Every structure is written in C-alpha cells, then in structure tokens.
Amino acid sequence: MDDQVKYLLPESEIPEAWYNIQPDLPRPLDPVLHPGTGQPIGPADLAPLFPMAIIQQEVSQERWIAIPDEVRAIYRLWRPTPLFRARRLERALNTPARIFYKCEGASPAGSHKPNTAVAQAYYNREAGIRRLATETGAGQWGSALALACTFFGLECKVYMVKVSYQQKPYRRSLMETWGATVVASPSGDSAFGRRVLAADPDSPGSLGIAISEAVEDAAGRTDTNYSLGSVLNHVLLHQTVIGQEAKKQLALADAYPDVVIGCAGGGSNFAGIAFHFLADQLAGTQKELQVIAVEPAACPSLTKGVYAYDFGDTAGMTPLVKMHTLGHGFIPAGIHAGGLRYHGMAPLVSALYAQGVIEARAPLQTDCFAAAVTFARAEGVVPAPETSHAIKVAIDEAIACRESGQGKTILFNLSGHGNFDMQAYDDYLAGRLQDYAYPVEKVEEALRHLPPVGANA
C-alpha cells in the first residue's frame, strides 16, 4: 500500500501561463456596464483604476496568458505549494474516499492571495504607479498586497472592515510590518467613510463599504491605482496556478478528482482550485466532475441571492457587473470568516453556477468550525475560518462515501492557515460562537435597491 501523504513538484514546474476560462464558457459573460450610462464600458472607463495590462486580462479571450518572469521569480518563494493526502482524516472518518488538499497556507502571507497580489503589484509598477489602495475583510488580502508592494517598492493603503480590524489585530500588525498603512473601515479618510459614520457611528463595516473607500482613494490620486483581491476576471485568472499544480500532483498519486471543493466569498480561491479541472469537463476530455462552491449561511450570495446587475461597492462608484448578489447595501453579520463576507460573487463563478456547471452549499458557522477542529486534530493544520467551509463539505462528502461504499477522490483547497485567527477558535471552543443564517426577508429588502439597468429593469 502506498502510504505517501505529500506530493511535491520542483520549481521548474511552476506554471508558465495562467489559464483563462472565458473562451471555454458554455455562454459568454454579460457585458460590464457603466454606472452612469448603463452602457457597456471600454478600457478608458477602467483606466483611472487599473493598468492597461490588467484591463486587457480582464476582457481577454486568450486561453493562456504568459506569467512574467519577474512574477514567477517571486512565486518561487513558496510555489509550487504541496499537495497532501489526508490519510489521518480518512481514518478518523472511516471513509473509503481519498481526500487530498492543496496547501496554499505555505505562502509568506499564509494564504492563496499572493498569487494575484504579486501579479497586480508587478503590472502597476511597470505602469509607473507608486501607490495602491485596497480593501480587506479578514486581512488575508491586505496582508498579501502589503507583501507584494514591499517586493515592488510601492506604497500600500488598506481599508480593513472594522469588525475584522477589531477581531484580528495581528493581521493588521502583519500588514504594518510589511509597510502598509491600515485603517478601520468605515474611516474618516474618505468622504464616503465619513458619510457612513455620520449615519451610523457604530457601523461594523462591510467589504462593499471598504471597496468604496479604496476606489475613492485611488480615483482621487494620479499616483494611485486600485487593487482587488477577488471577484474580477483577472484576479481569478492569476489564481489558476493552484489547479494547474494540483493536477500534476494528483497525477503523481495516480488520481483524478471526482469532487472539487473550494470556499467562496468573492470566488478567487474557488476558481484557483476548480477552473483548470473544469476546463477538462467543458472540453469533454474527462469524466464529469462534481464541483462545489461553499459559502457561509450568513452571506449566501449564490444560494439565496439573485443573478442580476449590481455594483461591486456600497456607494455605487464601481461598474455594474452581472453576478449573484445579496444587494450592494448588504451589511453582513460579524462572522469570523471575514474573507467570505461579500455581497456578490465573481461574475465567472456566478455564470458557471447559473449555467448549471457547478453547485453551491451554505453551511452554518459552528458546523464549519467543528469540521476545522476535526481536521486540525487529524492533520495538524489549523485552517483559516474561510477554509473551514470547504473542509465541512469535504467531510460531508467523505461521510457520504462511507455510507454508500464509494471510494471517490475528493480534492479541496486549503486556502490559508488560521494562525492569526485563534480568537475565532477561542470563541468556538468556549461556546461563544453564534450561528446566523441570513433571513430571506433581509435578502428581499436588499434586492429592492438593485440598480434599474440591463436585465434588472
């Protein structure tokens, strides 16, 4: 019996190109619309926020986009990341399933986020930009961008959702160690932040509010661009290095997944693990896959939201994109999976869900933490609260295999470690963590304020 648990690739196997799923979609994405005119936008509309190389990637129909050598050189600090066979978890669950996980917590920032942060910082540096503004929920994205800006000599301003700013002080310390300036959002540093605080001084913040502040910051300075850690096409593109490596590593184990699972807030780590396998299914070259996006019950954009045009931010400054949304005015509960508290889902992920290519589930917070503890006690890795959602469904699928006798191969993305999230585990272990399922009536209220454009009108 092969008892191997870790599958490694040499640095020479770091992918040389990112995989773009857009040419392989069953139906193309709906156009992005201008927030003022409601008409499809062009490159000039995005130029105040993004470098032209990023804008071109956003709309590209090329299946493969070359990774710059300077980006690959930095990837070598942690890539290729290891793939593990979770044999101890399999034994704990008494399942015939084979469970594999890709460990993106091996990056310096502790998550998958540097895969795109490094690329974005590079393209902005090449375009002559000196400063980036961004938002962050749990702090994983802010940490990754702070790291990337350090590598490329850029200043970094991070608007961190206030509830996470309070819950995760060491994420803030990590960002500041890498040279970023971090403020709690809503903040007094932007006109929109001041407006939110005037209406609700105790606002816990949201990713939508923080995005509005960061976009306002970037739009108001010629030396500054905006950088986003999820949702947009180019971000998901950069994450596909994960699935490319995982496919090669599974081949070393003589395996191919029956089930691929990723947690989903905006969609970046889910896309990273799933898109390169979906390419096989869409091309008809492999057996059909079960691909599952897992979101929190407290922020169920796929499972309770609608597929409609909406703003990416609360203030309504961003272009309108067709996505599954809870409404741009959505203010989430302060669950500990801060990286999953976004009102919308990536247009690419939303399209795949709407077209029936993938499925979605939305478990409760305490069930996810219970799964994370089971995983930690079996495998030794304490996962980020976001990743716990993927682990919950992986365990559910493994138990279903135990009951049916099927020996499926299950792959999930361990998108980050939880070493900076121990307050969340402390709250769970002490019984202080509360479940919250976002009520249907609140969803209906938020959706009444969708912009009256396109298919919404």
Looking at residue 127, its pLDDT comes to 97
- Token pair of 141 as six digits: 């994205």
Dist CA 449 CA 346 (whole Å): 20
Can you tell me whether residue 124 is helix, strand or coil? Answer: helix
**Are 239 and 200 contained in the same domain?**
no
**Residues 192, 80 share a domain:** no
Residue where one domain finishes, among candidates 177, 202, 233: 233
Q: Are residues 354 and 257 part of one domain?
A: yes
349 and 403 in a single domain? The answer is yes
What is the token pair recorded at 234? Answer: 């180019």
User: CA Rg, the chain, in Å?
Assistant: 20
Task: Report whether 360 contacts 292 (CB < 8 A).
Answer: yes
Indicate whether 41 belongs to any domain.
Answer: no
Residue 359 lies in a domain: yes
Residue 454 pLDDT: 60
**Chain centre to alpha carbon of residue 104:** 12
Q: Is residue 422 included in any domain, yes or no?
A: yes
- Cα–Cα distance between 113 and 239 in angstroms, integer? 8
Kindly state whether residues 117 and 207 are assigned to the same domain.
Answer: yes
Q: Give residue-wise pLDDT tens across range 102-111.
A: 999 999 999 9
Domain-embedded: residue 18: no
CATH of the domain at 178: 3.40.50.1100
H or E stretch at 360: strand 359-361
pLDDT at 1: 43
Among 198, 233, 268, which residue terminates a domain? Answer: 233
Check residue 372 and give its pLDDT.
98
Coil, strand or helix: which one is 248?
Answer: helix
Q: Which two tokens stand for residue 83?
A: 């793939």
Residues 145 and 206 in one domain: yes
Contact indicator for 165, 138 with CB cutoff of 8 Å: no
Helix (H, G, I), strand (E, B) or coil at 239: coil
Look at residue 57 and tell me if it is in a domain.
Answer: no
Give the Cα separation of 433 and 373 in Å (integer).
14
Q: Is residue 147 part of a domain?
A: yes
Residue 42 included in any domain: no
From CA 280, how far away is CA 278, in angstroms rounded?
5
Let me know whether 432 and 328 are in one domain: yes
Q: Are residues 104 and 147 in the same domain?
A: no
Q: Which of 82, 85, 97 is nearest to 2 (CA)?
A: 85
Q: What is the pLDDT of residues 203-261, one digit of tens each?
A: 999 888 998 999 999 999 999 999 999 999 999 999 999 999 999 999 999 999 999 99
Give just the sign of the alpha carbon dihedral 449, 451, 452, 456.
negative
The answer to whether residues 242 and 333 belong to one domain is: yes
pTM: 0.95
Task: Please give the pLDDT value at position 321.
Answer: 94
> DSSP letter at 302?
T
Residues with pLDDT less than 70, the chain: 1-2, 332-339, 454-457
Structural domain including 199 reads 112-233
Q: Last residue of some domain: 233, 265, 289?
A: 233
> Does residue 346 sit in the same domain as residue 405?
yes
| DSSP symbol at 160 | E
What total number of domains does the chain contain? 2
Q: Could you give the 3-state DSSP secondary structure of residue 64?
A: strand
- Indicate if 277 and 405 belong to the same structural domain: yes
Are the C-beta atoms of residues 106 and 241 closer than 8 Å to each other?
no
Query: Is 50 domain-assigned?
Result: no
Same structural domain, 177 and 311? no
The DSSP result for 74-102, as a single string, is HHTTTPSPPEEE-HHHHHHHT-S-EEEEE
